[in-house]
Each structure stands twice: as C-alpha cells, then as structure tokens.
Amino acid sequence: MMQQDTIIALATPSGVGAISVIRLSGDKSIEIVDTFFKSIKKGKSLKTQKTHTIHLGHITNNDIIVDEVLVSVFKNPNSYTGENVVEISCHGSSFIQQEIIQLFLQNGCRMADNGEFTMRAFLNGKMDLSQAEAVADVIASNSEASHKMAIQQMRGGITNELKELRAQLLDFAALIELELDFSGEDVEFADRTKFKELVAKITFVLKRLIDSFAFGNAMKNGIPVAIIGEPNVGKSTLLNTLLNEEKAIVSDIAGTTRDAIEDELIIDGVAFRFIDTAGIRETKDVVENIGIKKAYEKAENAQLIIFLIDSNKFSYSSEDFLQEIKTIKERFPNKRLLVIANKIDTLSCHDSSILQSEIENLILLSAKNKTGIEELKAELTSLVNIGALSNNETIVTNSRHFEALNNALMAITSVQEGIDLEISTDLFSIDIRECLRHLGNITGEYDVDKDILGHIFGNFCIGK
Ligand SMILES: Nc1nc2c(c(=O)[nH]1)N(C=O)[C@@H](CNc1ccc(C(=O)N[C@@H](CCC(=O)O)C(=O)O)cc1)CN2
Ligand SMILES: Nc1nc2c(ncn2[C@@H]2O[C@H](COP(=O)(O)OP(=O)(O)OP(=O)(O)O)[C@@H](O)[C@H]2O)c(=O)[nH]1
Ligand SMILES: [Mg+2]
C-alpha cells in the first residue's frame, strides 16, 4: 500500500539549535531535493547515489545559497518508512529551517501529519502496529524503567510473545473448519490433545501479559503515591522536600492544603508521582471537606500510600498514635501503606528510640530538616518489584493492547468451555476466529480501521 504524496517535516525540535534535520519521504523525495541541491562535487546528482549515503553541498534557490548542508539518501525500500527518504541536516536557525521547508512545499511536497513517517513505516510493513506505538513511548520515556519497557516493545516484545501461538491457533482454526466441511463423515483432522494444550498455553500467556499491565502502566506514567494524614503533620513539607522545590504552600495553619498537588520524581530509574492532599479531620468548612473527600479518593486510586503522623503525638499518647495507625490500615486494607513519623527533630533522642522500637516498620524523618529522606526513598524503591523488568519479560504498558488481550482471553476462555462441554466444533470455531482477530488487532495484522490509525498516530509529534 504505497502512499502517493511526498511529505516533509522538521525532525528535530523547532527553535534554534546547532543543527536541524528536515526529513522528506515519498516517491519523489530524492528528485525534489536534487533540483535544489548543488553538490560540492560538480555535476553529482542525488538520483544516482546509493542508499544510505551522505553528501555535502548547498541548498540553493534561484542561485541564492540558503545553507550549506549534509544530505542523506535512503532508497526505497531501505529506509525508515520503506519509501525514498531524504534527510537534510542544515544549520539550526529557525529562518533556514523555514526557508528550506517552504522551498520544498512549493515544489511538490506537503507537510507531514503527526506521526505520518511512522504510520508509513507501519503501512509499508517496516514494523507492526505495536512497534509503531512503542516509537512514541520511546520518545516520551523519561526514566530508566519506562525507557526499558518502550525499547523492548519497539523491538517487538508483545509481537514475539504471541506470534508463534497465534500461528498455531490459526492452523487449528483451518483444520477445524476443514472438519466442518466434512461434517457428515465424522472425521477429525485436528489433534484434540494438542489443541487442548495450545488453548491452555495461550490462556496462560494472555493472563501473564494482562497481569503485567497494572505494573507496566504505573511504571510508564509514574507510580502514584498519595501522601495523607491529619492537618499540619507536614505533608506539604514532605512533598517539597522530596521534589526539592517549593511546590506546595506550607504553613502552621491547619488546613492549608485544599486541592491535591502532584508532581513526578524519578528515584533509582523509576518514576513516582507524589500527591499531596488536604489534611484529614472533622470540619464544617465546605471547601475543606471537598478537599478531604478528594484526599480519600487519591489514596484509593494510588498504588502506594504514605501516611504521615506527627511524632509529638506519640509523646502525648502512644495509644492514640497506635490507634491512628490501626484506623488507617483498616480504612485501606488492600493498599501498600508506608507509615511515617514526621518532625522527629522535635523529639528527644530518648523518645525517638522508644518510638522506633515500639512500632514496627515505622519510618522516622524530619521533612523540614531533610533527615530520613534517603531511607524513605530506599523504602519506596524496594516496594516496587522491578524484577520483571530485569528479566526482560514483556510488560504491557499500552491500554489498547490491554483491551485486546482481555478480549482475546474472553474468546479463548469460551473455546476452553466449549472443549470442556464437548460442544460441537462449529460452535467454538467462531470463538477461535474471534481470539485470532483480537490478537491480530495488537499488531495491526488485519485491515485496521482508519479511525484507529488516526487516533494512534495523531498523538505522535510532527516529524516522527
Ligand atoms: N537521522 C535519523 N536518525 C534516526 C532515525 C531516522 O529516521 N533518521 N530514526 C527514525 O526513527 C531512528 C533510527 N531508526 C531507523 C530505522 C531504520 C532505518 C533504515 O534505514 N532502515 C532500512 C535499512 C537498514 C540497513 O540496511 O542498514 C531498512 O529497514 O530497510 C533508519 C533509521 C533514530 N535515529
Ligand atoms: N519541626 C518540624 N516542623 C515541621 C516539619 N515538617 C513540617 N513542619 C512544620 O509543620 C507545619 C505544617 O506543615 P505543612 O507541610 O503545611 O503540613 P500539612 O500536613 O501539609 O498541613 P495541611 O496542608 O494543613 O494538611 C509547618 O509550620 C511546617 O514548617 C518537621 O519535620 N519538623
Ligand atoms: Mg499541606
């Protein structure tokens, strides 16, 4: 499916830089650039150059030199898009970038849409859809973990995981459908034992991939960590200390924070999204109550909860202190909870050692004096199991893939039920086809809906 137009876009960020790259793709890209390119070697034409070669010369317009440039030539089908591609590396002035792009727009090119280079790479079979999607993730990755997952995906992670199983299922689908053609004659082409094994294997792999999504999604977008506790315990101070920035207002007035305030911090290659919330207490203030409700919601949706208590509370009453921890644990029975005693600087050494010894797994820190912060960070990273990442297991991070995997699992479960109930083959052959369709959706194997492509590539930047 060859695209007709030759497209052009700035591949590097707009604005001034040392060098900028302008990229063209399409049938006519080489000859269009050739018209305005004067090689330093007299009479050298780009059209006769080999693929993957670089040429020094000038881009000229009506004999006026626009810039001295390096031009790279990639020839169909040996390029990123699979089409003829030309890249012009010019000096990174905004004026030069615009002059060159305008020149080619007036001479047979059109502006590329968002992600159109990568969409063409997909349409020309250079990569499958899940790999093309991963290109956007690679560009967006901002931590070691998100980068690792995106690169793995771009290299075909999920595709490789499913390719073989899908091919085997396809074979069975064909055999079973063949049986249907001979339905009167009671023949069995498909080996039932092998088929059952395959269905079990597919179910197993799908479940593992589906299970990886919660982790993968959190790692990609930053693991949400809600900071909650009573007013004035130092939640906003902790947020600011972690971020090393005066992000939230701090004051000794109880009820300072109303709205949830959040920002991302990368610790040991993992992105965490810390969410400071309104202090939880009984109040008649309408706005404050909205904030408190929100605090509970944030905690509910977070992956981890940091529960902050003022250490001084322990000095007044260790029972109240313990009761508060108990209450919050009961409120969030299914959450990872980190209990932190703050303002440890105001406690005597004696009191803090009692505190430490009496309560298990308590982290003591001073958000204000920045002590105990490294211990907290170490605790946070230890709670995140990045073992899966280092084992190079495929981790699903894309919600479109997650949905397709769930649909495929539903279909294969129906197949399994069909086998168990020994219903006639023609009934579950539909479910096999359904499963194949959903698996094919991930890689874009079947005719992909134009809207879906538009949606996927519309989120890319221009020039990618
Ligand atoms: N200058 C530049 N840098 C870039 C890209 C690009 O398009 N241009 N890329 C864009 O994202 C990435 C690299 N990806 C690329 C993937 C394939 C091919 C390519 O030419 N493939 C051919 C030939 C392979 C060969 O024979 O060496 C092919 O697949 O047939 C180029 C870049 C990152 N860096
Ligand atoms: N001594 C001491 N004071 C602290 C510490 N952390 C915070 N504070 C002080 O405690 C007061 C309340 O701090 P905030 O960070 O605004 O408390 P908060 O939990 O966000 O309060 P609300 O937003 O009202 O729920 C401020 O005066 C801080 O300076 C600490 O570690 N030691
Ligand atoms: Mg606050």
State mean pLDDT over 1-19: 87
pTM of the model: 0.81
Residue 162: enclosing H or E segment and its boundaries? Answer: helix 157-181
Confidence of residue 54 (pLDDT cuts 50, 70, 90): very high
Give CA–CA dist 45/215, Å, rounded: 53
Q: For 320-346, what is each residue's pLDDT tens digit?
A: 999 999 999 999 999 999 999 999 999
- For the chain, the farthest-separated pair of C-alpha atoms sits apart, in whole angstroms, at 90
Give CA–CA dist 302/394, Å, rounded: 24
Cβ density class 344-372: b for 16+ within 10 Å, e for less: beebeeebbeebeeebeebbbbbbbeeeb
The protein residues having their C-beta less than 5 angstroms from ligand 3 (an ion) are: 235-236, 256-257
Which residue is closest in CA terms to ligand 1's atom 25?
A: 78
Which residue is closest in CA terms to ligand 1's atom 14?
A: 80
Sheet holding 85-91, edge to edge: 37-39, 53-61, 64-74, 85-91, 19-25, 6-10, 109-111
CATH architecture of 6-123: 2-Layer Sandwich (3.30)
Alpha-helical runs (H) found in 56-155: 94-105, 116-123, 129-140, 144-154
Please report, rounded to a whole number, the percentage of residues in the chain having pLDDT higher than 70: 98
Structure token digits, residue 426? 């023609």
Nearest to 280 by CA among 322, 338, 327: 327
The more confidently predicted of residues 175 and 106 is 106
Domain boundaries, the chain: 6-123, 222-366
- Degrees to nearest 5, angle at CA 79 with 445 and 112: 80
Determine how many CB atoms are found less than 10 A away from the CB of residue 186. Answer: 7
Determine how many CB atoms are found less than 10 A away from the CB of residue 225. Answer: 24
- CA of 371, nearest ligand number: 2
Task: Write down the pLDDT at residue 396.
Answer: 94
- CA of 256, nearest ligand number: 2
Task: Tell me the DSSP string of 314-352.
Answer: HHH-HHHHHHHHHHHHHHSTTSEEEEEEE-GGGS-HHHH
Task: Tell me, yes or no, if the two domains 6-123 and 222-366 fold the same way.
Answer: no
Task: Write down the pLDDT at residue 414.
Answer: 94
Confidence of residue 1 (pLDDT cuts 50, 70, 90): very low
- CA–centroid distance, 316 to ligand 3, in Å, is 23
Which residue is closest in CA terms to ligand 1's atom 32?
A: 80
Which residues, in sequence order, are CB contacts of 92 under 8 Å at separation 6+?
Answer: 12, 16, 17, 18, 19, 20
Task: Write down the pLDDT at residue 386.
Answer: 65
pLDDT at 388 exceeding the cut of 70:
no
Q: For 193-207, what is each residue's pLDDT tens digit?
A: 899 999 999 999 999
Report the complex ipTM: 0.81
Confidence of residue 21 (pLDDT cuts 50, 70, 90): very high
Nearest to 207 by CA among 446, 7, 396, 450: 396
- CATH code assigned to 222-366: 3.40.50.300
Determine how many CB atoms are found less than 10 A away from the CB of residue 72. Answer: 18
Task: Write down the pLDDT at residue 387.
Answer: 63
Ramachandran angles phi, psi of 250, nearest 5°: -115, 135
Within 6 A (CB) of ligand 2 lie 231-237, 250-252, 254-257, 278-279, 342-343, 345-346, 366-368
For the Cβ of 117 lying below 6 angstroms from any atom of ligand 1, the answer is no
Which residue is closest in CA terms to ligand 1's atom 12?
A: 80
